[in-house]
Structure 1
Amino acid sequence: MKFKRLFSVFLLLTVLAGFAAVPAAADETKTPVPDPDIQAKAALLVDWDTETVLYAKNEHTELYPASLTKIMTALLTLEAVDQGKLALDQELTATASALDGLAADGSTAGIKVGETMTVENYLKCMLIVSANEACDVLAEGVSGSVSAFVDAMNARAAELGCKNTHFVNPNGLHDSQHYTSAWDLYLITREALKYPEFMAVCDMGVAEIPATNLSESRRLRTTNYLLSNWRAAGYLYPDAHGIKTGSTSEAGHCLVSSATRGSRSLISVVLGAERVVGENGVADVKSFSETSRLFEWGFANFSTQTVLTELDMLADVPVALSKIDSVAVHPDREVTLVLPNDVGPEDLERKLTLEENVQAPVSAGQELGSVELSRNGTVYVSVPLVALNDVEASKLLTFWFNVREFFGRTSVRVALIVIGLLILAGVVWKLTMGRRRYRYGRPARRTRGYRGRRR
């Protein structure tokens, strides 16, 4: 009896151990990407290489941009340089009109009326210490007047697809009619980043401006706390690069920034963040701390994954006029996407669109359709599908196809009907008119009776 109890206990422990040894299913270990709940009026995080939106909050809401406006001012300036209207080493003189009407407590580089400086150094003053007067000097240099430059700003914004933007000045000083959105700022920044000079200046923690005709040399220190702790400590972010700060009482604290870690680069926009003073009396400027948190969230919760390769045979497309019934199709290139870590290629929905009535000959690499990858209604990418190999046409099948096609044409059918009707008409005419002619046109027969012998 005792032996039976011990044996039962042994069996029970064995079964329990077996259950414990069963590994959990892979799908059950995936954890969904959490919402970072960024503390700002609007925020946007985009993967730079793939333009994949990782996070968006009120991205199309019209908000005041403050000095983020200067990104557009820099873009138009660099475009003017690219077009040969200006040169980076060209000197511009600050006019009274350029410095007139600027807020006394606004950001400045101390530029004086009559001071001469190169376009490049004005850009440094504008982008590193957010000098308002530098914006207006550049505006006059590009367009001749500030008002003409503002018109160009709005026209360029429309060209870039900005739907919630209207500029009133080149510097971002508050005006109720001066607004943009996180998404529009992303579009403008993306265009400005096409110019290496833009990021080269935005990424400077400190810069030296040589002495001018009215000033000794200047040392400019960035207003971006992610790049330098000279103005404030505790915000340095080692992966950060640029881009532009902005703040007014109406706009709150704003920041457009980028960060690179390994092979991945992210760009962020944070608008309308607050400056919060904690219980310990230490202030937290949320535009910087929330941007850092947004970057960390993006790097930690998303990864670059290969979702399609050229070796993936996704379908067989029927082919006519060949001894081979079909040809396999595959993506024309390898496709990588930035996806949440809890989403894999197998979680994406594939929608195939294939060509119909494909006829031989078919060449390898010939486009025969497309595949669309999506998830939960979001389309990630659409890729052409191409033929794996050549498919030769059958001469006999092609001949009979051409014959059927020829006689299947409407014009040919009409011609055949007309010809048939003409032939029929000829036969009928022959049968009817010919008989009449024979019946009524034939000479009457002579009656040969005996008339006697002439004497």
Structure 2
Amino acid sequence: MRVRALRMFALLLALLCLTISVQASSEYNENNPGDLRPNNLRAESAIVISADSGEALFEKNADDLRYPASLTKIMTAMIALVRGNPDDLVTVSQNAVSVPEDSSLIGLKAGEQVPLGELIRATMVISGNDGAVAIAEHIAGSEPAFVSMMNEVARYLGCTHTNFANSHGYHDEYHYSTARDMALIAREAMRYEEFREVAALWRYTLPRTNLSGPRTFTSKDAAFLNSENTETYYPYANGIKTGEHSQAGLCYAGSAYKDGVQLISVVLKSNAAGRWRDTRRLMDYGFSRYVSTSIEQLFRQNPKVVDISSYALDDVNLGRLELSLRKIDPTQDDHLFGLADQADTWKQVYNTRTSISYNRVLEAPIEAGDIVGTMTYMPEDSEDGPIMYELIATRSIARRESAAPSIEEIYIYTANDPNPFPRFSLEFVLIMLLPVLLVIFL
């Protein structure tokens, strides 16, 4: 009996050690953001994607149906900015101010007139449901008509698990989406400069209207966007929208930019602390997947080497000359960004989009620092035209004394001589006739 009890104790101890080991191995390491795991996030659904390609870099239950809450207003604001005139006056209806009392509100009044652009900013910053309805009615004539428009745009963007029932995100059983779909909507919205300007706001003052004085609002996004919030501020963040209600939990669609890389993240059904922490971890993971280089760096990894003719006989490198590179216009950007596992494509870009020409014959003497040619790089999507570099000699090469003419020199001499054949002279004739005379007389 005692032996059996000891065995049971040993088994329980082993299981306890295994549990502790698993927990320790799954803890988040801030010094290694690329080792993110699903259980390191409080959110029940989450995703981070490349804003450029739309590729998902990390996801957790990204296709599970969730309530998006006020992330809905991303779609509302995007449609309004694309289809509306920001200078148009919106007249607030009684229906718009009749949203549920527990909604987040701007505090609009029936009959109040607000320029559309100002209304969009206020609605996004304070997450005003009354503002969302007023926008919807102004753009489409009624909120139901606007909601149909929202669902049509969602389908166009490839959102296969999304259905909007209102313009603001107040809870409705038939108002749902997924982390993946909301990321697609946020990605599309951030393509528009007007939306990016609104998305970056965390404080906004709505100017005086016909019925109200100026009103200043502060967004919950300030936790992530305002540098004064040292515990939650993320230096690369540039928007975009919070959302929350009891069934949705705390949600956030975020955007961040670093070293030429733009990311979009979404967390759904997180908690107060997790909303910001999850977003930071998703962004840090996404940025850790990217590496950057430049055309200059690629050149230095495999510098151009040329053969110099007529080099001195004591040249230990036998005329081999390595060239260095110098950008003619230092302000031009030749950086390349991409996922770490796709870095091989950079070599292809370098090989197919650069060309070299020389401005002199490659022969000695050459002095260190001499410009011997140029390299041209043609970026795929640059509006500034080609990027030019000088090719520079890295060492001096002396000319060989009494050197035989090089092939290049012979070619140049022959090309410049109108009569490259030997001139006829008495000596030339005698030399040519000598063999014949010897045969005749001998």
TM-score computed with the length of structure 1 as normaliser: 0.57
Is 1:184 aligned with 2:181?
A: yes
1:297 deviation in Å?
Answer: 2.4
Contact 1:98 1:146 in 2 (8 A): no
1:79 deviation in Å?
Answer: 2.2
State the distance in 1 between where 2:237 and 2:282 align. Answer: 12
Spell out structure 1 runs of 4+ moving beyond 3 A: 334-337, 343-346
Unaligned runs of 5+ in 1: 1-30, 82-86, 276-283, 310-333, 349-363, 366-455
Q: 2:192 aligns with which of 190, 195, 199?
A: 195
Q: What one-letter code is carried by the residue in structure 1 that aligns with 2:55? A: T
State the distance in 1 between where 2:62 and 2:292 align. Answer: 24
Q: Which residue of 1 aligns with 2:338?
A: 337
1:180 deviation in Å?
Answer: 0.5
State the distance in 1 between where 2:33 and 2:118 align. Answer: 47
1:302 deviation in Å?
Answer: 3.4
Q: Which residue of 2 aligns with 1:234?
A: 231
Q: Which residue of 1 aligns with 2:97?
A: 99
Is 1:75 aligned with 2:78?
A: yes
State the distance in 1 between where 2:224 and 2:173 align. Answer: 29
Contact 1:45 1:54 in 2 (8 A): yes
1:186 deviation in Å?
Answer: 1.5
Q: Which residue of 2 aligns with 1:136?
A: 133
- Deviation string 1:68-110 (CA, Å, 9 cap, x unpaired) is 00011112212212xxxxx10111111001222x221211111
* Matched residues, number: 278
Unaligned runs of 5+ in 2: 1-31, 299-334, 346-351, 354-442
SS at match of 1:92: strand
Q: Which residue of 2 aligns with 1:287?
A: 275
1:138 deviation in Å?
Answer: 0.6
State the distance in 1 between where 2:242 and 2:33 align. Answer: 32
Contact 2:91 2:114 in 1 (8 A): yes
The residue correspondences of 1:180-329 to structure 2 (distance < 5 A) are 180-224=177-221, 225-228=223-226, 234-275=231-272, 284=273, 286-304=274-292
Contact 2:227 2:235 in 1 (8 A): no
Is 1:156 aligned with 2:144?
A: no
Q: What one-letter code is carried by the residue in structure 2 that aligns with 1:199? A: R
1:228 deviation in Å?
Answer: 2.8
Identity of aligned residues (%): 34
Contact 1:304 1:336 in 2 (8 A): yes
1:223 deviation in Å?
Answer: 1.7
Relative distance call for 1:61 and 1:96 in structure 2 (3 A) is same
Relative distance call for 1:41 and 1:305 in structure 2 (3 A) is farther
Contact 1:47 1:338 in 2 (8 A): no
State the distance in 2 between where 1:124 and 1:303 align. Answer: 35
State the distance in 2 between where 1:344 and 1:80 align. Answer: 38
Q: 1:169 aligns with which of 166, 170, 173?
A: 166
1:252 deviation in Å?
Answer: 0.4
State the distance in 2 between where 1:268 and 1:111 align. Answer: 31
Q: Which has the larger radius of gyration?
A: 1
SS at match of 1:121: helix
Relative distance call for 1:303 and 1:38 in structure 2 (3 A) is farther
Q: What one-letter code is carried by the residue in structure 2 that aligns with 1:235? A: T
State the distance in 2 between where 1:273 and 1:123 align. Answer: 26
SS at match of 1:287: helix
SS at match of 2:167: coil
Contact 1:50 1:338 in 2 (8 A): no
- Deviation string 1:107-135 (CA, Å, 9 cap, x unpaired) is 11111111110001110111111000000
Relative distance call for 1:216 and 1:140 in structure 2 (3 A) is same
Relative distance call for 1:161 and 1:206 in structure 2 (3 A) is same
Q: Which residue of 2 aligns with 1:438?
A: none
Contact 1:241 1:259 in 2 (8 A): yes
State the distance in 1 between where 2:226 and 2:146 align. Answer: 32
TM-score computed with the length of structure 2 as normaliser: 0.58
1:32 deviation in Å?
Answer: 11
1:299 deviation in Å?
Answer: 2.2
Q: What one-letter code is carried by the residue in structure 2 that aligns with 1:116? A: Q
Relative distance call for 1:95 and 1:302 in structure 2 (3 A) is same
Q: 1:66 aligns with which of 66, 69, 74?
A: 69
State the distance in 2 between where 1:216 and 1:98 align. Answer: 19
Is 1:41 aligned with 2:44?
A: yes
State the distance in 2 between where 1:64 and 1:178 align. Answer: 7
1:293 deviation in Å?
Answer: 1.9
Between 1:202-211 and 1:59-68, the stretch displaced more is 202-211
Q: Which residue of 2 aligns with 1:90?
A: 88
